[in-house]
Amino acid sequence: MNLIDSIKANAKANPRTIVLPEGEAERTLKAANQIMEEQFAKLILIGSKSTILKKAEEWDLPLIKNIEIYDPSSDPRHPEMIDLLLKIRTSKGLQRPEAEKLCSDPLYLGPLLIKAGYAQGEVSGAENATGDVLRPAFQIVKTAPNSSVVSGAFIMLVKDKQFGTDGVMVFADCAVNPNPNAQQLAEIAVASAQTAKAIAKIDPRVAMLSFSTKGSGAHADVDKVVEATRIAREMAPELKIDGELQADAAIIESIGSKKAPGSEIAGKANVLVFPTLDAGNIGYKLVQRLAGAEAVGPVLQGMAAPINDLSRGCSVDDIVNLVAITVNQAY
């Protein structure tokens, strides 16, 4: 059974309710129909009920009629959502007219349905930019108790099985924090190791990436990665982690043993933590496109409830897979 199939099987054994705010969009509806066929999640679609049902008929998606729909124009829970948003954001200066306006936005309603307990996770972003998906999630669901920063990891399924663990690797942060400081980078490393264990089902060996290996370069950016490695070790003493390492030293045994002799990670890393979002986002896309790797995610880590953001170039299968992952994160 491949990784995605085992994630789906796990979800099917214990389905959770996932809200899909882009409920009127073609790819979302096709994915929702497929998820109903595969029965690994319960769903809430947000959108106009009549539009959704009409489109489902037009595109021959017979199972959509069995899915719960939250129609902002008529759902009896709508006043509750407005009150909840006001309760959460009054201290930030939010007033009722603005709260009413925000609650017509499905990207606000999704996190509100989670916060109110009607759903346990969300997947969106097929039609919306990352920032627009994340901002309401950060404002409403917020970070998990021991976390101060949300980050985005990709599970990379690399064709060449000599890399990572049989070709399975985790890359982070590829989606959220443009320039994390040392403390944030350490948190990202610890969270990525958890994602590697819980979702990618691999025993994490974390490399803190840099343009320098063990002092080969001297720069404040190198110091940041060294300090982040120290903090991560303090936060999670059992974690297998090393840095700073260049990418080749992290993943190629012969180079790792030469540049970082004695390191238990160099040459064997399966979790790569990038020093900036530039590096992480560019890095995962190059591996995906040039090496033909499958990039699953981004899986958001550090949030109080799982909310995951799709790329706008995503396929129906990408949506289906990310919903399965989100169910697994909701446990």
Residues interacting with ligand ACO, by CB under 6 A?
92, 130-131, 134-135, 138-139, 143, 149-150, 175-177, 281, 298, 311
DSSP symbols for 274-331: -SSHHHHHHHHHHHHHHS--EEEEEEEESBSS-EEE--TT--HHHHHHHHHHHHHHT-
Closer to ligand ACO by Cβ: residue 174 or 330: 174
DSSP symbols for 193-230: HHHHHHTS-----EEEE-S-STTSS-SHHHHHHHHHHH
- Rounded least distance, CB 149 to ligand ACO, Å: 4
Q: Which residue has the tokens 């595109």?
A: 59
Closer to ligand ACO by Cβ: residue 173 or 244: 173
Burial of 71 (0-12, 13-18, 19+ CB in 10 A): middle
- Rounded least distance, CB 1 to ligand ACO, Å: 27
Closer to ligand ACO by Cβ: residue 173 or 227: 173
- Closest listed residue to residue 284, CA positions, set 275, 295, 297, 273: 295
Tokens matching residue 127: 């039609």
Closer to ligand ACO by Cβ: residue 164 or 297: 297
Closer to ligand ACO by Cβ: residue 267 or 283: 283
d(CA 251, CA 111): 38
- Rounded least distance, CB 212 to ligand ACO, Å: 25
- Rounded least distance, CB 36 to ligand ACO, Å: 27
- Rounded least distance, CB 200 to ligand ACO, Å: 17
Q: Which residue is nearest to ligand ACO (CB)?
A: 138
Closer to ligand ACO by Cβ: residue 120 or 177: 177
Q: State how far the alpha carbon of 182 is from the alpha carbons of 72, 234, 238, 272, in Å.
A: 42, 13, 19, 16
- Rounded least distance, CB 53 to ligand ACO, Å: 32
- Rounded least distance, CB 170 to ligand ACO, Å: 14
Burial of 155 (0-12, 13-18, 19+ CB in 10 A): buried
Closer to ligand ACO by Cβ: residue 3 or 150: 150
Helices (H) and strands (E) in the chain, counts: 13, 11
d(CA 271, CA 96): 45
